[in-house]
Amino acid sequence: MRNRLRILLLASCTAIQAGDFPRELNAFIGTAPTIDGVIAPGEWDDATQFTGLGWVPQFSKTTDAKDLSVRGYVKHDDKRLYFAFDVTDDVLYGIDTPRWLPDENLKAHQLTREGFPWFGDEMELLINASNRWSGTEDAAGDGSSWQMVCNLTKSRLGGIGKGGLLEGEPRSSAKAWATYQRWILSGAQQAAARVKPGGHGYVIEWAVSFNPCLEVSPGGFYSTAMGDRAMGMNIALGDLDEKARGQGNFGNFHHEDWFAGAKDTRTQLRQWGTLWIRNRPR
């Protein structure tokens, strides 16, 4: 009997685990913000706040908050999940620097599957709404699990020079690319990126519609009627500076810091942390 209870408890823990990495965020009910790249007074006071301290470096480790740091916010209402990122960055790629290209891909700024959507100063949001994985797979590129990009200086809607959303990974999948593009064009996901007054950083505000972007079961999307729900989640903060500052790193990236996971495997679903969508105010 004791062993049976132990098995049931272990099964229960596995059912709510949204990733193997032991870091989580709680998104509580709040008011809908204006997605304009400006954190207005009081606009995010009802959100959970978090910072990038202790995030996992993919490239050069960040050691100075003035070089790169982030304060984030997360909340939801009855239709959408909301994030805001207030980024401090001492050098803004394509603004304080030329728009140099990486040796690995001279087509990096093409807004096609051959481009690098994440090449630039950027944030990436990764959600595993289904809370499932079977091995070492990455995001599926649909409502069950996805990886999207908000770049400071290029976007699907604004083109080169205007920040906003871009189709993320897996770019190798034409189906995923088409799904992401449909979400951007339809407004199922919205984001605004704006340089902060005086430079030295930027703000991103991001909205994710439950339907079609949080598919918790085939054809079923999250709603607040489901109560508290655990989902896999990861966040990336990418930083390009002058090309020389990223010497030795892929694409000459200076920094790329991740909420969860390990170097080189941080996009695997099992490496993500947990986002709890809570059905109550903070």
- Read off the pLDDT of residues 93-118 as tens digits, 9 standing for 90 and up: 999 999 999 999 999 999 999 999 99
Per the structure, how many domains does the chain have?
Answer: 1
DSSP 8-state code for residue 121: S
Q: Is residue 7 domain-resident?
A: no
What is the C-alpha radius of gyration for the chain, rounded to an integer number of angstroms?
Answer: 18
To the question of pTM greater than 0.85 for the whole model, the response is: yes
Q: Is residue 14 domain-resident?
A: no
pLDDT at residue 20, as a whole number: 87
Domain range for 239 is 22-281
Q: Is residue 34 domain-resident?
A: yes
Q: Is residue 8 domain-resident?
A: no
Q: Is residue 16 domain-resident?
A: no
Q: Is residue 6 domain-resident?
A: no
The CATH number for 206's domain is 2.60.40.1190
What digits encode the pLDDT tens for the residues 35-89? 999 999 999 999 999 999 999 999 999 999 999 999 999 999 999 999 999 999 9
In whole angstroms, give the CA distance from residue 138 to residue 128.
10
Q: Is residue 9 domain-resident?
A: no
Q: Which residues of the chain have pLDDT under 70?
A: 1-17
Judge residue 264's burial from the number of C-beta atoms within 10 Å of its C-beta, 0-12 exposed, 13-18 middle, 19 or more buried.
exposed
In whole angstroms, give the CA distance from residue 156 to residue 168.
11
pLDDT at residue 19, as a whole number: 79
pLDDT at residue 176, as a whole number: 98
Percent of the chain having pLDDT more than 70? 94
Q: Is residue 31 domain-resident?
A: yes
